[in-house]
Structure 1
């Protein structure tokens, strides 16, 4: 199994998944550089391995944007829920006069601004997440996405990791974990 495509500069377009039995167009997907991860693992718990494709679609200072596609054994796409609405409804990140306040469901953490080691005039008015995004599959075959929490152009304080569960024929964003940098 492999991914083929057309290279235009440092962007790969017209991507296709090629197996020994067939090929599937990955229309609408592209990759920057050659950062394409291809893995075969059972994410749905049905005993059949799915094809997992992770592509890098944006890179730069403070940006690492990755996207994922999952296909079943018949090479039909399995919908992977965008984690951003889930994070927005279950978390909050705010800057106060003295702290960065982070809340995940009922758990709240405050980080003193002076502990960040970043000049206050370099801090964003509101911290953001999502400029650094990457996917992973843990040892228990759970798909996870991690989105970094950014407080300045080059300042990060940790990240949110969302674990997916397979439900109603799609991979649904589920459990959220906060990981703070030390």
Structure 2
């Protein structure tokens, strides 16, 4: 009888030890694997990228790729989850880029629009504009102000005997004439200069640019040009549609 009791005690001890070992093994496996963490983990670059600016509805976001003290070199543009890198530079002018999400082409689909201040100072205020197709993230060209001036604007400047400047402008077949009371000692060229003021804005789902026409080495602005752009589907480009001249 004692022998049978001893055998039973020994078997119980072995079974208890085996069960404890199984529970310990299961606990260790659960701690080493975390399926939920694997699903939500994101790449370190994406997590820590610096957000520069976003559209009002946050469908479009602009991130910095590399940032030094005074300039951002390269950006990542995120449009509703799709991303693409661009080699745009953003200087520290004190003015942040503006980001929009609106239909400019008239096809019922929004485009991402980014305006970047490229220069700011005394008699200087210049911007770049970028329009991005939200479908394939390709950039749609906006006609450069230099092309618009070369193709559609003619100017002529002369100095009268009284020292005033006589300014003549032809834009899209319309003529404008006005005078400007300049310093008698001012040396002027025979045409207006452009490039010191180039500002892009959006009005009623259209691109608007305001460029200044100036005289003299240190620019003296004598008139402004208000340009409205339209989308040319055959060229896949925004071109100047209307030009107004304001003394």
For normalisation by structure 2, the TM-score amounts to 0.65
C-alpha distance 169-107 of structure 1, shift in aligned 2 (>3 A): closer
CA shift for structure 1 position 91: 1.3
SS in 2 for 1:30: strand
**Structure showing greater Rg:** 2
CA shift for structure 1 position 155: 1.9
Q: In the aligned structure 2, how far is the partner of 1:62 from the partner of 1:84?
A: 19
2:75 to 15, 32, 41: 15
Q: In the aligned structure 2, how far is the partner of 1:7 from the partner of 1:81?
A: 29
C-alpha distance 45-155 of structure 1, shift in aligned 2 (>3 A): same
Unmatched runs of 5 consecutive residues or more in structure 1? none
Q: Could you say which residue in structure 2 is the equivalent of 1:39?
A: 100
Task: Give runs of aligned pairs for residues 64-103 of structure 1, distance below 5 A.
Answer: 64-74=125-135, 75-98=137-160, 99-103=166-170
Q: Contact conserved, 2:227 with 2:244, CA < 8 A, in 1?
A: no
Unmatched runs of 5 consecutive residues or more in structure 2? 1-59, 161-165
Q: Contact conserved, 2:79 with 2:112, CA < 8 A, in 1?
A: no
CA shift for structure 1 position 104: 1.3
RMSD: 2.0
CA shift for structure 1 position 123: 4.8
More strand by share: 1
SS in 1 for 2:196: strand
Q: In the aligned structure 2, how far is the partner of 1:120 from the partner of 1:178?
A: 29
CA shift for structure 1 position 132: 0.6
Using CA pairs under 8 Å that are at least 6 residues apart, name the structure with larger relative contact order, 1 or 2.
1
CA shift for structure 1 position 36: 0.6
CA shift for structure 1 position 68: 0.9
Q: Could you say which residue in structure 1 is the equivalent of 2:239?
A: 173
Task: Give runs of aligned pairs for residues 1-182 of structure 1, distance below 5 A.
Answer: 1-5=60-64, 6-27=66-87, 29-33=88-92, 34-74=95-135, 75-98=137-160, 99-114=166-181, 118-125=182-189, 126-139=191-204, 141-152=205-216, 153-167=218-232, 168=234, 170-181=236-247
More helix by share: 2
Q: In the aligned structure 1, how far is the partner of 2:107 from the partner of 2:81?
A: 22
